[in-house]
Structure 1
Amino acid sequence: MTEAKPKRRTKAQQRAETLEVILDAAEYLFSQRGLYGVTLKDVAQQADVHTSLLHYYFDDKKAMFDAVFARRAHVTADKRMAALDRYAGECRGKPTVEGALRAFLDTDLDLYIQGGEGWRNFAGLGAQVAMAPVWGAKLFDEHFDPVVLKLIGLLKQALPECPEEDIFWGYHFVTGALVMTLARTGRIDQLSQGLCKSEDFPAVKARMARFLAFGFEGICRDRAEARAAAAG
């Protein structure tokens, strides 16, 4: 019996595959050096393509960077929104702080645990974007505002007596903890003499949501007691 010949890839498939190779190469380099530390020539060499081919896909380096970021940003945003929606249905109008944070944080951390080196490169890239004034904030606004506001809505339900400003400050601290984790600087490895490791996302997942939940609840409780004391 004659074996069927493998189907030839269409030009569209070849272009799509080449684009993925370029995005993977750019993601790795951007995660290591940031937007301004990488040239188009660097990306071309990493992807093993001619520099002129990059201009077929992108107008300039910033457009490439935005495409690299958007490729995975929409995946994590969609997964977290689905997790928050699912949790909102399961809790029947009575969310807890930890439950909401687990839906938001654990779903994201699972991508870095299970998704391979590409997702870990994106983690480092995301940490850099989060720390970039103005343009970094715009990228986060564009891709993550709906899912963040969904989380904040659940936190308001969980802490109905907590002033809105404290909910937003609490989220600000959540972001700081997550960004430091995604950056994988190795700082905790050094301080703990190897007891803890920056790469250990499962260890972070086991602790982060619960730790931060206590912070939310403590701030809101303490400030409520201070307001009651001031009122006499």
Structure 2
Amino acid sequence: MQHEASVLTPAPPTAIERIISAAEVAFAERGFDGAGMKAISRRAEVSQALLHYHFGSKDQLYTEVVKRRSKVINDERIAMLARVDLKDPDALAHILEALFRPPLGPAGGDQAYTRIFGGLIIGQERERALVKECYDPTAQQFIKALQAAIPGMSQKTAAHAYTLALGALVVVISRDGRIERLMGSEKQRSLEEVLQGLITFGTGGIMALAAKETQQT
């Protein structure tokens, strides 16, 4: 007798998960100042009292949004980085792919978090504190990987290279169509096109920094 394979139905999101997801969209659409707790509670389909019970304040809710998404992004980044052979001639390209692909892909939360991500880089004291807590430990691992992949590269130059690569990511991550418009195209580029452009640009720039450092020593 044959038995039909059971289909596992994903559990519905909890109230806390719905609140954080709703807040992520609200902060992306309206910024921190423009996002209201009442509107977030409506979007999450919970009472405002429940929202305040779990998160207390808008600052705390914003912090939880960044912490949740940064963990998803950085877990994928570290997993990809761990698979890179740092002695491979193409190691630098693979390191950059590990840096760029997660925030551009599903782990990055699509359009919602990308706007928050960009704001973190140029934000105020609150954002700087979150970047230090949520992103700096992962950044240090990428800086060490750059040093290992490019013999003779100092920590100073590797950190500079990492920061400039991150800046290039911030410019394109919103996928708002501006680059395509400047290119004279109405068709949005695919994820792979954006990714390969970043990797090519980043590889060239980082190798130029490494060469300049070598000339100065």
**TM-score class normalised by the smaller sequence:** 0.7 to 0.9
Report if the CA contact (8 A) 2:87-2:149 is conserved: no
Q: Which residue of 1 aligns with 2:134?
A: 143
3-state SS in 2 of match to 1:34 = helix
Letter in 2 for 1:204: V
**Aligned to 2:83, which of 80, 83, 86?**
86
Note the aligned Cα RMSD (angstroms): 2.5
Q: Which residue of 2 aligns with 1:129?
A: 120
Q: Which residue of 1 aligns with 2:95?
A: 100
**Aligned to 2:24, which of 27, 31, 40?**
27
In structure 2, what is the Cα distance between the partners aligned to 1:219 and 1:41?
49
Once the two structures are superposed, the pairs formed by residues 108-127 of structure 1 within 5 Å of their partners are 108-111=103-106, 118-127=109-118
What is the TM-score of this pair, normalised by structure 2?
Answer: 0.83
In structure 1, what is the Cα distance between the partners aligned to 2:49 and 2:58?
13
CA deviations on 1:55-113 (whole Å, 9 max, x unpaired) are: 121110011111111122111111111211221xx34587732222122222443336x
Identity percentage of aligned residues: 26
3-state SS in 2 of match to 1:194 = coil
Report if the CA contact (8 A) 1:83-1:107 is conserved: no
Q: Which residue of 1 aligns with 2:8?
A: none
In structure 1, what is the Cα distance between the partners aligned to 2:55 and 2:44?
15
Counterpart check, 1:159 vs 2:156: no
Larger CA Rg, structure 1 vs 2 = 1
In structure 2, what is the Cα distance between the partners aligned to 1:83 and 1:65?
27
Q: Which residue of 1 aligns with 2:194?
A: 204
3-state SS in 1 of match to 2:124 = coil
Q: Which residue of 2 aligns with 1:220?
A: 210
1:160, distance to aligned residue in structure 2 (A): 2.4
Q: Which residue of 2 aligns with 1:5?
A: none
1:27, distance to aligned residue in structure 2 (A): 0.8
3-state SS in 1 of match to 2:83 = helix
1:125, distance to aligned residue in structure 2 (A): 1.5
